[in-house]
Amino acid sequence: MADGGTWRPPRSCEDYWWEWKHCRGLRHAFHHYYAHGELPTCDRWREDYEACRAWEKGRAAAAQEALCKSERARVMENKKYAPVWRLRKSPPPDWYLPLDQDKPN
């Protein structure tokens, strides 16, 4: 986590509001049901928005903590499966090679 003095919410409060509204919409409910077989739960976005607003108003440490915890949990949810492949440290060496040099001899 960044220093308390320079910390700000990971997303703007408008983004949390947008995500919450979008989550509650019919279109998103349909897409979520189509993709995952269940309806979405949107309370977390509302809680994050309220924490963001609380931090904006009074720089409440509890709000900062709650927001960080929620976002870290989101990141961990995305990392719960072991990766299938090994990530590169640099791009493929032949990405920019001219085409005729790529052809095998």
Binding site for other proteins (CB under 8 A): 1-2, 7-11, 15, 18, 22, 27-28, 31, 33-37, 68, 71-72, 75, 78, 80-88, 90-92, 94-99, 102-104
Q: Is 41 or 104 the residue whose CB approaches other proteins more closely? A: 104
Q: Give the shortest CB-37-to-other proteins separation in angstroms.
A: 3
* Residue with smaller CB distance to other proteins, 57 or 81: 81
Rg (CA), the chain: 21
Rounded to the nearest whole angstrom, what is the least distance from the CB of residue 4 to other proteins in the complex?
11
For other proteins, which is the closer residue by CB, 57 or 75? 75
Taking the complex as a whole, the smallest distance from the CB of residue 33 to other proteins amounts, in Å, to 6
For residue 84, the minimal CB distance to other proteins (Å) is 4
User: CA end-to-end span of the chain, whole Å?
Assistant: 52
Please give the Cα distance from 28 to 22 (Å, whole number): 7
- The values of phi and psi at residue 101, to 5°, are -80, -15
Residues contacting residue 49 through CB under 8 Å, at least 6 positions apart: 13, 16, 17, 20
Nearest to 64 by CA among 77, 80, 48, 76: 48
